[in-house]
Amino acid sequence: MNQPALFPARAMRAARSGALIGAVVALGALLGGCNAVVLDPAGDVAKQQANLVVISTVLMLLIIVPVMALTVLFAWRYRQSNKEARYEPEWDHSTQLELLIWAAPLLIIICLGAITWTSTHLLDPYRPVSRVAKDQPVPADARPLEVEVVALDWKWLFIYPEYGIATVNELAAPVDRPINFRITSSSVMNSFYIPALAGQIYAMPGMETKLHAVLNKAGNYEGFSANYSGAGFSGMRFRFHGLDDVGFAAWVAKARAEKDRLDRKAYLELERPSENVPVRRFAAVDADLYDAVVNMCVEPGKMCMSEMMAIDAKGGLGKEGIRNVRQLTYDKHARRGAVLAPQPMMVGAVCAPPQPVKQAAAERPAPTGAPLTGAGLPRPGVIGGPPRASADAVVPRANNS
Protein backbone atom coordinates (compact mmCIF):
# COMPACT_ATOMS: atom_id res chain seq x y z
CA MET A 1 0.00 0.00 0.00
CA ASN A 2 2.94 2.34 0.64
CA GLN A 3 4.69 1.50 -2.66
CA PRO A 4 3.25 4.46 -4.65
CA ALA A 5 4.49 6.91 -1.98
CA LEU A 6 8.07 5.89 -2.72
CA PHE A 7 8.04 7.30 -6.23
CA PRO A 8 7.82 11.02 -5.23
CA ALA A 9 10.66 10.54 -2.74
CA ARG A 10 12.83 8.80 -5.32
CA ALA A 11 12.02 11.51 -7.86
CA MET A 12 13.03 14.23 -5.40
CA ARG A 13 16.32 12.46 -4.62
CA ALA A 14 17.05 12.05 -8.32
CA ALA A 15 16.29 15.73 -8.92
CA ARG A 16 18.64 16.79 -6.12
CA SER A 17 21.39 14.52 -7.45
CA GLY A 18 20.92 15.93 -10.94
CA ALA A 19 21.08 19.50 -9.64
CA LEU A 20 24.25 18.71 -7.69
CA ILE A 21 25.92 17.15 -10.73
CA GLY A 22 24.88 20.12 -12.87
CA ALA A 23 26.34 22.55 -10.32
CA VAL A 24 29.64 20.64 -10.24
CA VAL A 25 29.83 20.61 -14.05
CA ALA A 26 29.02 24.34 -14.24
CA LEU A 27 31.65 25.13 -11.61
CA GLY A 28 34.22 23.09 -13.51
CA ALA A 29 33.38 24.95 -16.73
CA LEU A 30 33.78 28.31 -14.99
CA LEU A 31 37.08 27.35 -13.39
CA GLY A 32 38.31 25.99 -16.71
CA GLY A 33 38.38 29.53 -18.07
CA CYS A 34 40.54 30.83 -15.21
CA ASN A 35 44.19 31.64 -15.72
CA ALA A 36 45.97 30.21 -12.68
CA VAL A 37 49.00 32.43 -13.19
CA VAL A 38 49.80 32.47 -9.47
CA LEU A 39 50.26 28.68 -9.44
CA ASP A 40 51.86 28.50 -12.89
CA PRO A 41 53.99 31.67 -13.26
CA ALA A 42 56.70 32.46 -15.77
CA GLY A 43 59.33 33.73 -13.31
CA ASP A 44 61.55 31.68 -11.03
CA VAL A 45 60.82 33.76 -7.92
CA ALA A 46 57.06 33.51 -8.45
CA LYS A 47 57.44 29.78 -9.11
CA GLN A 48 59.16 29.28 -5.76
CA GLN A 49 56.38 31.27 -4.10
CA ALA A 50 53.80 29.08 -5.85
CA ASN A 51 55.54 25.98 -4.49
CA LEU A 52 55.26 27.47 -1.00
CA VAL A 53 51.52 27.90 -1.46
CA VAL A 54 51.12 24.27 -2.58
CA ILE A 55 53.33 22.84 0.18
CA SER A 56 51.61 24.89 2.89
CA THR A 57 48.16 23.90 1.61
CA VAL A 58 49.05 20.18 1.55
CA LEU A 59 50.48 20.32 5.07
CA MET A 60 47.34 21.97 6.40
CA LEU A 61 45.11 19.51 4.55
CA LEU A 62 46.82 16.69 6.45
CA ILE A 63 44.79 17.87 9.44
CA ILE A 64 41.73 19.36 7.77
CA VAL A 65 40.83 16.35 5.58
CA PRO A 66 40.95 13.72 8.39
CA VAL A 67 38.97 15.99 10.72
CA MET A 68 36.26 16.56 8.10
CA ALA A 69 36.13 12.86 7.25
CA LEU A 70 35.97 11.82 10.91
CA THR A 71 33.22 14.38 11.54
CA VAL A 72 31.04 12.72 8.91
CA LEU A 73 32.01 9.25 10.14
CA PHE A 74 31.15 9.99 13.77
CA ALA A 75 27.88 11.66 12.84
CA TRP A 76 26.90 8.58 10.82
CA ARG A 77 28.20 5.94 13.21
CA TYR A 78 26.76 7.42 16.37
CA ARG A 79 23.43 8.54 14.96
CA GLN A 80 20.39 7.94 17.15
CA SER A 81 19.00 5.15 14.98
CA ASN A 82 22.21 3.08 15.12
CA LYS A 83 21.58 0.72 18.00
CA GLU A 84 24.82 -1.20 17.43
CA ALA A 85 27.14 1.73 18.30
CA ARG A 86 28.82 1.41 21.69
CA TYR A 87 27.64 3.78 24.36
CA GLU A 88 30.43 4.66 26.83
CA PRO A 89 29.33 7.61 28.98
CA GLU A 90 32.16 7.07 31.51
CA TRP A 91 35.01 7.34 28.91
CA ASP A 92 37.19 10.40 29.49
CA HIS A 93 40.79 9.69 28.47
CA SER A 94 42.87 7.88 25.87
CA THR A 95 46.66 8.24 25.82
CA GLN A 96 46.89 7.08 22.21
CA LEU A 97 44.22 9.56 21.11
CA GLU A 98 45.87 12.43 23.02
CA LEU A 99 49.23 11.67 21.38
CA LEU A 100 47.61 11.68 17.95
CA ILE A 101 45.66 14.88 18.57
CA TRP A 102 48.71 16.84 19.79
CA ALA A 103 51.61 15.26 17.90
CA ALA A 104 50.22 15.64 14.37
CA PRO A 105 49.51 19.41 14.57
CA LEU A 106 52.82 20.00 16.37
CA LEU A 107 54.80 18.28 13.60
CA ILE A 108 52.92 20.25 10.95
CA ILE A 109 53.60 23.53 12.76
CA ILE A 110 57.30 22.67 13.00
CA CYS A 111 57.42 21.94 9.26
CA LEU A 112 55.55 25.15 8.39
CA GLY A 113 57.82 27.18 10.68
CA ALA A 114 60.97 25.79 9.10
CA ILE A 115 59.68 26.41 5.58
CA THR A 116 58.55 29.93 6.49
CA TRP A 117 61.89 30.84 8.07
CA THR A 118 64.01 29.62 5.17
CA SER A 119 61.75 31.03 2.45
CA THR A 120 61.53 34.41 4.18
CA HIS A 121 65.28 34.78 3.81
CA LEU A 122 65.75 33.10 0.43
CA LEU A 123 62.85 34.98 -1.20
CA ASP A 124 63.46 38.33 0.46
CA PRO A 125 62.52 40.92 -2.22
CA TYR A 126 65.63 42.95 -1.27
CA ARG A 127 67.90 39.93 -1.88
CA PRO A 128 69.40 39.73 -5.40
CA VAL A 129 68.44 36.54 -7.20
CA SER A 130 71.08 33.81 -7.04
CA ARG A 131 69.69 31.69 -9.85
CA VAL A 132 67.97 32.16 -13.18
CA ALA A 133 66.00 28.93 -12.85
CA LYS A 134 66.24 25.65 -10.96
CA ASP A 135 69.79 24.24 -11.20
CA GLN A 136 70.80 27.27 -13.28
CA PRO A 137 72.77 29.88 -11.29
CA VAL A 138 73.15 33.46 -12.44
CA PRO A 139 76.22 33.79 -14.70
CA ALA A 140 79.15 35.57 -13.08
CA ASP A 141 79.24 38.19 -15.84
CA ALA A 142 75.46 38.80 -15.87
CA ARG A 143 74.46 42.45 -15.56
CA PRO A 144 71.02 42.96 -13.96
CA LEU A 145 68.48 45.17 -15.68
CA GLU A 146 67.82 48.26 -13.56
CA VAL A 147 64.25 49.57 -13.61
CA GLU A 148 63.03 52.54 -11.56
CA VAL A 149 59.30 52.36 -10.84
CA VAL A 150 57.13 55.31 -9.83
CA ALA A 151 53.48 54.82 -8.89
CA LEU A 152 51.51 57.87 -10.06
CA ASP A 153 47.82 58.78 -9.86
CA TRP A 154 46.69 56.55 -11.61
CA LYS A 155 49.37 55.11 -13.83
CA TRP A 156 52.83 53.56 -13.68
CA LEU A 157 56.07 55.20 -14.75
CA PHE A 158 59.06 52.99 -15.59
CA ILE A 159 62.54 54.49 -16.03
CA TYR A 160 65.44 52.54 -17.56
CA PRO A 161 68.59 54.42 -16.43
CA GLU A 162 70.89 52.11 -18.40
CA TYR A 163 69.15 52.99 -21.67
CA GLY A 164 68.02 56.53 -20.82
CA ILE A 165 64.35 55.86 -21.70
CA ALA A 166 61.05 55.81 -19.83
CA THR A 167 57.58 54.40 -20.43
CA VAL A 168 54.12 54.82 -18.99
CA ASN A 169 51.97 51.72 -18.39
CA GLU A 170 54.33 49.46 -20.33
CA LEU A 171 57.20 47.36 -19.02
CA ALA A 172 59.57 45.03 -20.85
CA ALA A 173 62.49 42.83 -19.88
CA PRO A 174 64.64 40.16 -21.55
CA VAL A 175 64.18 36.52 -20.61
CA ASP A 176 66.65 34.95 -18.15
CA ARG A 177 68.17 38.29 -17.15
CA PRO A 178 67.89 39.35 -13.48
CA ILE A 179 65.81 42.47 -12.90
CA ASN A 180 66.39 44.95 -10.08
CA PHE A 181 63.37 47.15 -9.38
CA ARG A 182 63.64 50.37 -7.34
CA ILE A 183 60.11 51.37 -6.40
CA THR A 184 58.55 54.55 -5.01
CA SER A 185 55.33 56.56 -5.22
CA SER A 186 54.51 60.17 -5.97
CA SER A 187 51.59 60.66 -3.56
CA VAL A 188 49.84 57.71 -1.88
CA MET A 189 50.72 54.11 -1.11
CA ASN A 190 50.38 51.63 -3.95
CA SER A 191 51.41 48.02 -4.54
CA PHE A 192 53.51 46.94 -7.51
CA TYR A 193 52.46 43.44 -8.59
CA ILE A 194 53.18 41.23 -11.61
CA PRO A 195 51.78 37.78 -10.66
CA ALA A 196 53.77 35.97 -13.36
CA LEU A 197 57.08 37.48 -12.21
CA ALA A 198 57.20 37.79 -8.40
CA GLY A 199 55.20 38.77 -5.34
CA GLN A 200 53.82 42.23 -4.71
CA ILE A 201 55.73 44.97 -2.95
CA TYR A 202 54.50 48.34 -1.77
CA ALA A 203 55.35 51.72 -3.27
CA MET A 204 55.36 54.58 -0.77
CA PRO A 205 56.03 58.32 -1.20
CA GLY A 206 59.33 59.55 0.17
CA MET A 207 60.61 55.98 0.47
CA GLU A 208 62.21 53.39 -1.78
CA THR A 209 61.47 49.68 -1.78
CA LYS A 210 63.18 47.02 -3.88
CA LEU A 211 62.25 43.88 -5.74
CA HIS A 212 64.56 41.37 -7.44
CA ALA A 213 63.16 38.91 -9.97
CA VAL A 214 63.83 37.07 -13.23
CA LEU A 215 61.57 35.99 -16.09
CA ASN A 216 62.00 32.54 -17.66
CA LYS A 217 59.37 32.47 -20.38
CA ALA A 218 58.64 34.97 -23.13
CA GLY A 219 55.09 36.31 -23.22
CA ASN A 220 52.70 39.17 -22.56
CA TYR A 221 51.77 39.42 -18.89
CA GLU A 222 49.60 41.68 -16.75
CA GLY A 223 50.74 43.98 -13.98
CA PHE A 224 48.62 46.15 -11.71
CA SER A 225 48.32 47.86 -8.36
CA ALA A 226 47.17 45.54 -5.59
CA ASN A 227 46.47 48.35 -3.11
CA TYR A 228 43.44 50.65 -3.44
CA SER A 229 44.61 54.20 -4.13
CA GLY A 230 41.57 56.24 -5.16
CA ALA A 231 39.14 56.84 -7.98
CA GLY A 232 41.33 55.63 -10.85
CA PHE A 233 42.61 52.50 -9.11
CA SER A 234 40.72 50.05 -11.33
CA GLY A 235 42.49 51.37 -14.44
CA MET A 236 45.96 51.31 -12.91
CA ARG A 237 47.17 48.37 -15.03
CA PHE A 238 50.06 47.81 -17.40
CA ARG A 239 51.49 45.17 -19.74
CA PHE A 240 54.74 43.38 -19.02
CA HIS A 241 56.47 42.04 -22.13
CA GLY A 242 58.91 39.17 -21.75
CA LEU A 243 61.21 39.29 -24.78
CA ASP A 244 64.36 37.66 -26.06
CA ASP A 245 67.49 39.80 -26.42
CA VAL A 246 66.70 40.77 -30.01
CA GLY A 247 63.10 41.65 -29.18
CA PHE A 248 64.13 43.70 -26.16
CA ALA A 249 66.69 45.64 -28.21
CA ALA A 250 63.96 46.40 -30.75
CA TRP A 251 61.64 47.55 -27.96
CA VAL A 252 64.31 49.91 -26.60
CA ALA A 253 64.93 51.26 -30.12
CA LYS A 254 61.21 51.90 -30.51
CA ALA A 255 61.19 53.97 -27.32
CA ARG A 256 64.28 55.92 -28.40
CA ALA A 257 62.56 56.79 -31.66
CA GLU A 258 59.95 58.88 -29.80
CA LYS A 259 60.29 62.66 -29.62
CA ASP A 260 59.23 63.29 -26.02
CA ARG A 261 61.76 63.92 -23.23
CA LEU A 262 60.96 63.33 -19.57
CA ASP A 263 62.48 66.21 -17.65
CA ARG A 264 61.23 67.71 -14.38
CA LYS A 265 58.71 69.96 -16.06
CA ALA A 266 57.28 67.08 -18.09
CA TYR A 267 57.16 64.90 -14.98
CA LEU A 268 55.14 67.48 -13.04
CA GLU A 269 52.60 67.46 -15.84
CA LEU A 270 52.63 63.66 -16.03
CA GLU A 271 52.05 63.13 -12.31
CA ARG A 272 48.78 65.05 -12.33
CA PRO A 273 45.89 62.65 -11.58
CA SER A 274 44.55 60.96 -14.73
CA GLU A 275 42.71 57.70 -15.39
CA ASN A 276 43.02 54.93 -18.01
CA VAL A 277 46.19 56.43 -19.46
CA PRO A 278 47.41 54.86 -22.74
CA VAL A 279 50.96 53.63 -23.24
CA ARG A 280 53.47 56.45 -23.62
CA ARG A 281 57.22 56.40 -24.27
CA PHE A 282 60.01 58.91 -23.68
CA ALA A 283 63.23 58.88 -25.70
CA ALA A 284 65.27 60.61 -22.97
CA VAL A 285 65.06 61.05 -19.19
CA ASP A 286 66.81 63.38 -16.75
CA ALA A 287 69.45 61.33 -14.96
CA ASP A 288 68.50 62.59 -11.48
CA LEU A 289 64.72 62.52 -11.92
CA TYR A 290 64.05 59.34 -9.94
CA ASP A 291 66.18 60.50 -6.99
CA ALA A 292 64.28 63.80 -7.01
CA VAL A 293 60.98 61.87 -6.93
CA VAL A 294 62.13 59.80 -3.95
CA ASN A 295 63.34 62.97 -2.20
CA MET A 296 60.00 64.68 -3.03
CA CYS A 297 61.72 67.72 -4.54
CA VAL A 298 60.93 67.66 -8.25
CA GLU A 299 59.42 71.16 -7.98
CA PRO A 300 62.00 73.92 -8.57
CA GLY A 301 63.26 75.47 -5.34
CA LYS A 302 61.82 72.82 -3.03
CA MET A 303 64.01 71.36 -0.30
CA CYS A 304 64.81 67.66 -0.77
CA MET A 305 64.33 65.16 2.00
CA SER A 306 68.04 64.27 1.95
CA GLU A 307 68.88 67.96 2.36
CA MET A 308 66.37 68.31 5.20
CA MET A 309 67.73 65.23 6.98
CA ALA A 310 71.28 66.55 6.68
CA ILE A 311 70.22 69.88 8.21
CA ASP A 312 68.33 68.14 11.01
CA ALA A 313 71.32 65.89 11.74
CA LYS A 314 73.40 69.02 12.36
CA GLY A 315 70.88 70.69 14.62
CA GLY A 316 68.32 72.24 12.29
CA LEU A 317 67.77 75.81 11.09
CA GLY A 318 66.31 77.08 14.34
CA LYS A 319 63.56 79.67 14.39
CA GLU A 320 64.85 81.16 11.17
CA GLY A 321 63.67 78.02 9.39
CA ILE A 322 60.04 78.96 10.09
CA ARG A 323 60.21 81.59 7.36
CA ASN A 324 61.88 79.26 4.86
CA VAL A 325 58.69 78.37 2.99
CA ARG A 326 57.43 79.07 -0.50
CA GLN A 327 54.14 78.63 -2.28
CA LEU A 328 53.65 75.65 -4.54
CA THR A 329 52.39 76.33 -8.04
CA TYR A 330 50.93 72.82 -8.22
CA ASP A 331 50.15 70.59 -5.29
CA LYS A 332 48.04 67.78 -6.80
CA HIS A 333 44.93 69.27 -5.18
CA ALA A 334 45.99 67.71 -1.88
CA ARG A 335 48.20 70.35 -0.21
CA ARG A 336 51.20 68.06 -0.16
CA GLY A 337 53.50 70.71 1.33
CA ALA A 338 53.46 72.23 4.80
CA VAL A 339 50.34 74.39 5.08
CA LEU A 340 51.41 77.51 6.96
CA ALA A 341 49.19 79.92 5.03
CA PRO A 342 45.90 79.93 3.12
CA GLN A 343 47.83 78.67 0.09
CA PRO A 344 49.81 75.41 -0.01
CA MET A 345 53.43 75.94 0.97
CA MET A 346 56.71 74.03 0.66
CA VAL A 347 60.06 74.18 2.43
CA GLY A 348 62.59 76.02 0.27
CA ALA A 349 66.03 74.67 -0.57
CA VAL A 350 68.91 76.45 1.19
CA CYS A 351 72.07 74.64 0.10
CA ALA A 352 73.71 72.78 -2.77
CA PRO A 353 71.83 70.65 -5.32
CA PRO A 354 70.21 67.57 -3.74
CA GLN A 355 72.15 64.37 -3.32
CA PRO A 356 70.61 60.97 -3.95
CA VAL A 357 69.14 59.21 -0.94
CA LYS A 358 71.82 56.51 -0.82
CA GLN A 359 74.63 59.13 -0.88
CA ALA A 360 72.99 61.19 1.83
CA ALA A 361 72.59 58.11 4.04
CA ALA A 362 76.22 57.06 3.50
CA GLU A 363 77.56 60.54 4.33
CA ARG A 364 75.35 61.08 7.37
CA PRO A 365 77.60 61.44 10.46
CA ALA A 366 77.23 58.94 13.26
CA PRO A 367 75.54 60.25 16.44
CA THR A 368 78.05 61.40 19.05
CA GLY A 369 75.74 61.96 22.00
CA ALA A 370 76.44 65.70 22.03
CA PRO A 371 73.40 67.96 22.58
CA LEU A 372 71.77 69.38 19.47
CA THR A 373 72.03 73.09 18.71
CA GLY A 374 70.01 75.07 16.22
CA ALA A 375 71.28 77.86 14.00
CA GLY A 376 71.69 80.86 16.32
CA LEU A 377 70.01 79.07 19.26
CA PRO A 378 71.54 78.27 22.66
CA ARG A 379 72.09 74.73 23.82
CA PRO A 380 69.04 73.16 25.50
CA GLY A 381 68.93 74.12 29.16
CA VAL A 382 71.43 77.00 28.75
CA ILE A 383 70.18 80.56 29.29
CA GLY A 384 71.35 83.09 26.77
CA GLY A 385 73.78 82.02 24.07
CA PRO A 386 75.24 83.60 20.98
CA PRO A 387 73.34 86.51 19.46
CA ARG A 388 70.83 85.56 16.84
CA ALA A 389 70.70 87.13 13.42
CA SER A 390 67.50 88.80 12.41
CA ALA A 391 65.04 86.49 10.69
CA ASP A 392 64.65 89.06 7.95
CA ALA A 393 68.37 88.77 7.21
CA VAL A 394 68.10 85.09 6.33
CA VAL A 395 67.59 84.82 2.59
CA PRO A 396 67.39 81.16 1.53
CA ARG A 397 69.04 80.42 -1.79
CA ALA A 398 66.64 78.65 -4.15
CA ASN A 399 67.57 75.32 -5.61
CA ASN A 400 66.68 75.40 -9.28
CA SER A 401 68.12 72.05 -10.13
| CB 142 within 8 Å of CB 148 | no
Residues in the chain with pLDDT values less than 50: 1-2, 33, 330-341, 361, 367-369, 372-377, 382-401
7-25: burial string, b at 16+ Cβ within 10 Å, e else: eeeeeeeeeeeeeeeeeee
- Predicted confidence at residue 399, as pLDDT, reads 43
Phi, psi of 342 (to 5 degrees): -55, -30
- Residue 321: predicted pLDDT: 73
Each residue's pLDDT tens digit, 192-244: 999 999 999 999 999 999 999 999 999 999 999 999 988 889 999 999 999 99
What pLDDT, on a 0 to 100 scale, did the predictor assign at position 308? 84
Tell me, letter by letter, the H, E, C secondary structure of 350-396. Answer: CCCCCCCHHHHHHHCCCCCCCCCCCCCCCCCCCCCCCCCCCHHHCCC
Which pLDDT score is estimated for 388? 42
| Per-residue pLDDT, 303 | 84
User: What burial class does residue 294 get, using C-beta atoms within 10 Å of its C-beta: 0-12 exposed, 13-18 middle, 19+ buried?
Assistant: buried
CA-closest candidate to residue 156, choices 172, 180, 178 = 172
Under DSSP, is residue 287 helix (H, G, I), strand (E, B) or coil? Answer: coil
Candidates 3.30.360.10, 2.60.40.10, 2.60.40.420, 3.40.190.10; CATH matching 132-294? 2.60.40.420
Report the Cα 10 to chain-centroid distance in Å.
56
Q: For residue 354, what pLDDT is reported?
A: 52
Domain spans in the chain, listed from the N-terminal domain onward: 39-77+97-123, 132-294, 296-379+391-401
Helix (H, G, I), strand (E, B) or coil at 27: helix
Contact of 387 with 395, CB cutoff 8 Å: no
Who contacts 106 (Cβ-Cβ below 8 Å, separation ≥6)? none
What pLDDT sits at residue 381?
A: 53
* pLDDT in the model for residue 317: 78
Q: What is the structure's pLDDT at 11?
A: 57
- Rounded Cα–Cα distance for residues 235 and 294 (Å): 24
* Tally of CB atoms within 10 A around 354: 25
Give the pLDDT score at 352: 54
Instruction: Provide the b/e sequence for 216-232 (b: ≥16 CB within 10 Å).
Output: beeeebebbbbbebeeb
